[in-house]
Amino acid sequence: MNRFTQMAWLIRGVMIEVLRRQMLWILFLVMGGYALVSLAVRQQGMDGVGAASFMLNLGLYMAGMLAQLLTALLALRQFPSEMENRTIYPLLAKPLDREVLVLGKWLACSLGGWLVYVMFFLLAWLCAPKVENLSGGLLMQLLMIQPLLLAWVSAFSLAVSLCFPRGVSHAMVIFMLFCGDAICQWGAEKWPVFNALPRFGSVDLATRFTDGIGAVPWGESLWMFAYVCLWIVLSLDVARRLFVRRAL
Amino acid sequence: MKKGEYIKVLGLWLLVALISPQVKPRRYEGGLSKNIQAKEEMNHSALGIVLGEFRTSLSDMFYMQTENFLHYGVAFVPHEHEKHSEASEMVSEWTEVDDEAGEDEHAMHEGHDHEHIVDHDEDVHGEGHEGHEGHGHEHEELTVIPSAEHDFRAWVGEMHRAIKPWQAPGEAHRVASDAEVVPLFRMMTLADPHYVKGYQVGAYWIQQLDAEAASKFLAEGLQNNPDSFELYLMRGMLHLKQARSLGEKGQINEDNVEQRAVLLKAKADFQKSAALMLQVRPAQEIVDDEDQILWSEVQETDAMAATHLSVLLEQRVGDPEQAKRLAKEYSAAMPDHKKLTKLLQEGP
């Protein structure tokens, strides 16, 4: 079995796990609630600029946030659960390279999050009232950055789950997911060391999009993509090093 | 991990930290909730009524809270105040009286300052005389809870008026003390660092308590909104006030070295403000159109103040010839600016 086949099997395993978990269906219920409200708003003709933009913003924000949450929770439980249930031994006995295992888990969690995001995005887009004059360029950037953002969330969660106990890692990742950007903005002015914190919220383009602002200029978007890619590389590298040297 | 591996990871982390300040895709001016037309729609949309204050952004919500607070909890229907020449009026008093009786007697009163700054903000501070109990309105503002004559709810309406803060039409307008609204401005600018109005009006309230803190607050606003002409104007006004505080009895004397240094800073801010304003102000015919929504009356007033003060300070503490050139440049863009025309006619 070559590396790609091994990864494909790992991805399949994680996908089955996603479908078996209640989490996905709870998130679908939340998005379903949004879709119902959104359709009711359209049905009642409350589709002025403000209302339409509010509903679309809410939908896109929820799609992004729920997908990130699902990805993080999925990635956070991969290694700790496998180790706790001792299912990691048969996996490694296949034999499966530890690096391949880390990469496969990361790809699987990212892909799972991205698929959920696509579904939620379509739901929000189709159900929300139509908003005029939105930037096509920014929409493209939004759709391009989102898979990378989910890959970052996944890699970061894997790395954190290998560093800290389960409860601490969950609290840390969820806190950084929701408050990382705000904490960084608050602290970086006085202490530049805050710039080293992950700012997941800083690359969320949904609000800029629904505010009717144009695409992010090329220079700035390159910084943005470079920032996310570097974080992915850093997180994966840390996760790989921690797992490869871990005594099981 | 080996030492070399630690260094690699730390190096990568350092690189990420260095790139981090460059990532600011959410740094942009305005947004839908700051667009006049969109805001109007939000205030009147059915969804807006259903969702209440949660319909807008968090900073808009804090802004509405300041309004409620300053009006002693009385909720007024969003309204436009009576027309006023705002900052230009304050500037004209400062200059015209100076011309007639010498500048020593005509320090810029805090009241003028207040009128100017508060008038920027239509909804929050009303006529902007904090602590002046019973200041009357020239016009009647509508409260969200209607008066008995306009309320179909009979005794329910009576009860509503009795248990909620309410003010009868024509009653003297009261504006509460300022200090306690400061945290709201802090929170609204934290929630949305691009909320220029929050920085502008917040700086006004803060400077009454602590000029240094107001200056820092504005510096933060300018860092987040480097293209905002309103904030440069505001900082210039703070410098102007600082210059007055350095003189005896609040008088301005251009020969005083300390005052002159501060006035030069004010001049730089006004000129920067005017330059930024000219980049974003629509053509005069658009501004003159009463139905246009691109440029508000408040923005126009700020624009007039920025250009006027820019020329005025150039005349006083800079180069009079340059002042003339600036006046010509500004007049070309704002032909209706009477103060500038007057300055041009008077010459250096």
| Structural domain containing residue A154 | 3-244
Burial B179-193 (b: 16+ CB within 10 A, else e): eebbebbebbbbbbb
Indicate yes or no: CB of B55 within 8 angstroms of CB of A50. Answer: yes
Nearest-angstrom CA–CA distance, A55 and A134 = 14
Please report the pLDDT score of residue A210 as a whole number.
Answer: 83
Cβ neighbours of B39 in A, within 8 Å: 50
Nearest-angstrom CA–CA distance, B331 and B302 = 15
Indicate yes or no: CB of A234 within 8 angstroms of CB of B12. Answer: yes
Indicate yes or no: CB of B25 within 8 angstroms of CB of A54. Answer: no
Please report the pLDDT score of residue B1 as a whole number.
Answer: 63
Q: What are phi and psi of A97, to 5 degrees?
A: -65, 140
The predicted complex's ipTM stands at: 0.81
Cβ neighbours of B186 in A, within 8 Å: none
Indicate yes or no: CB of A46 within 8 angstroms of CB of B13. Answer: no
Does residue B341 register a pLDDT over 90? Answer: no
Q: What are phi and psi of A35, to 5 degrees?
A: -60, -40
Does residue B25 register a pLDDT over 80? Answer: no
To 5 degrees, how large is the angle CA A236–CA A241–CA A242? Answer: 100
Residue A61 forms contact with B (CB below 8 Å) = no
Nearest-angstrom CA–CA distance, B10 and A142 = 30
Please report the pLDDT score of residue B24 as a whole number.
Answer: 76
Which residues 113-172 of A are in CB contact (within 8 Å) with B? none
Cβ neighbours of B23 in A, within 8 Å: 199, 202-203, 220, 223-224, 227
Give the B-side interface with A, CB within 8 Å: 1, 5, 8-9, 12-26, 28, 30-33, 35, 37-39, 41-42, 45-48, 51, 55-56, 190, 193, 220
Which residues 70-109 of A are in CB contact (within 8 Å) with B? none
**What is the band of B132 on the pLDDT scale with cuts at 50, 70, 90?**
very low
In this structure, what DSSP letter does residue B145 have?
A: S
Question: What are the pLDDT digits (tens) for B78-128?
Answer: 554 433 333 444 454 444 434 433 333 333 333 333 333 333 333 333 333
Q: What are phi and psi of B303, to 5 degrees?
A: -60, -45
Does residue B50 register a pLDDT over 90? Answer: no
Indicate yes or no: CB of A188 within 8 angstroms of CB of B38. Answer: no
Q: Give which of A42, A47, A53 to mutate to test B binding, by max B Cβ within 10 Å.
A: A53
Size of interface A-B (CB pairs under 8 A): 117
Higher pLDDT, B138 or A188: A188
Residue corresponding to tokens 């102000």: B281
Please report the pLDDT score of residue B34 as a whole number.
Answer: 61
Amino acid at B187: M
Nearest-angstrom CA–CA distance, B230 and B273 = 7
Torsion, CA A225, CA A148, CA A180, CA A221, rounded to 10: 20
Please report the pLDDT score of residue B4 as a whole number.
Answer: 80
Give me the helices (H) in B20-132, please. 36-44, 46-51, 58-70, 86-101, 110-120
Please report the pLDDT score of residue B48 as a whole number.
Answer: 59
Indicate yes or no: CB of B24 within 8 angstroms of CB of A51. Answer: no
Indicate yes or no: CB of B31 within 8 angstroms of CB of A226. Answer: no
Number of structural domains (chain A) is: 1
Nearest to A157 by CA among A200, A206, A203, A194: A200
Structure tokens at B18: 């260095």
Is the bond leading into A95 cis (omega within 30 degrees of zero)? yes
Of A41, A49, A204, the CB nearest to B38: A49
Nearest chain B CA: its distance from A199 CA (Å):
8
Q: Are B316 and B65 in contact (CB under 8 A)?
A: no
Least confident of A103-107, B131-135, B213-217: B131-135
Please report the pLDDT score of residue B126 as a whole number.
Answer: 35
Q: Are A153 and A71 in contact (CB under 8 A)?
A: yes
Structure tokens at A192: 């530049």
Cα dihedral across residues A11, A14, A16, A18: positive or negative: negative
Higher pLDDT, B30 or A180: A180
Q: From B11, which residue of chain A is nearest by alpha-carbon distance?
A: A234
**What is the helix, strand, coil percentage profile of chain A, to 5?**
80, 0, 20
Nearest to B230 by CA among B205, B210, B204: B204
Nearest-angstrom CA–CA distance, B197 and B34 = 9
Indicate yes or no: CB of B12 within 8 angstroms of CB of A51. Answer: no
Amino acid at A84: E
Q: Are A7 and A103 in contact (CB under 8 A)?
A: yes
Cβ neighbours of B8 in A, within 8 Å: 237
Residue A245 forms contact with B (CB below 8 Å) = yes
Question: What are the pLDDT digits (tens) for B281-324?
Answer: 888 888 888 777 778 888 888 999 999 999 999 988 889 889 98
Under DSSP, is residue A31 helix (H, G, I), strand (E, B) or coil? helix
In this structure, what DSSP letter does residue B141 have?
A: P
Cβ neighbours of B193 in A, within 8 Å: 185
Residue A43 forms contact with B (CB below 8 Å) = no
pLDDT in tens, chain A (248 residues): 677 888 888 888 888 888 888 888 999 999 999 999 988 888 877 667 677 888 888 899 999 999 999 999 999 988 888 888 888 888 777 777 888 889 999 999 999 999 999 999 999 999 988 887 788 899 999 999 999 999 999 999 999 999 999 899 999 999 999 888 888 888 887 888 888 999 998 888 888 888 778 888 888 889 999 999 999 999 999 999 888 877 76
Q: Give which of B8, B20, B55, B195 to mutate to test A binding, by max A Cβ within 10 Å.
A: B20
Please report the pLDDT score of residue B123 as a whole number.
Answer: 35
What's the residue count for chain A? 248
